[in-house]
Amino acid sequence: MHNTIAKFKDSKFQNFIVRHKKYTPLLFFIGGFIFDTLTLGRIDRTYDLVVLCLHMSSLTITLYLYNLADDGKWVDTMLNKFQEYFPLAIQFFFGALSSAYVIYFSRSVSLTKTVSFFIILIMLLVANEFLKKRISNKYLQFSVYFFLSFTFFTFIIPVFIKQ
């Protein structure tokens, strides 16, 4: 198992991350947006529900692991080696979820009635690119997480209860 981790550490992915460290957050952000734009269609489609639930679950787990690693809980464990990727994963999920919400919101409601909420989503989508340096701020993390969770349940609950 240690050899697998050593191979991962010397992988092309890690070399890419190190070489393009300045642009990596932007690439992950754009990757999440492009993924959602190409794959998401309707909020009530099974595939879309699975993707959104996986994004939300993965974001929750990654935030949990990141904050435990930040508190020193993972020292001398396998997760310690991956903690440098947690902020990138968090940023990817922030970008993917906020872009999904912008996509669904623009397709499903009258923007004249909910302009302020839509503007907040757009600002979150753009601001995500700048969150990498501030992602360690737990207030910011959980403020964004709360907003994304609130929006997630705003979309998902009516789909699940079919109203």
- Does 145 map to a domain? yes
Tokens at residue 10, please?
A: 């010397």
Residue 158 belongs to a domain: no
Can you tell me the distance from the alpha carbon of 162 to that of 156, in angstroms, rounded to the nearest whole number?
10
Kindly state whether residue 134 falls inside one of the protein's structural domains. yes
Global confidence as pTM: 0.72
Would residue 127 count as lying in a domain?
A: yes
Residue 49 domain boundaries? 25-153
| 28-77 tens-digit pLDDT | 767 767 777 788 887 778 888 888 899 999 999 999 888 877 666 677 77
- 160 inside domain: no
Render pLDDT for 14-36 as a digit per residue (tens, 0 to 9).
Answer: 777 777 666 776 777 677 677 77
Decide if 77 is inside a domain. Answer: yes
- Find out whether 121 and 33 touch, Cβ atoms under 8 Å: no
Domain count, the chain: 1
Per the domain annotation, does 15 fall within a domain?
Answer: no
Q: Please indicate, yes or no, if residue 19 is contained in any of the structural domains.
A: no
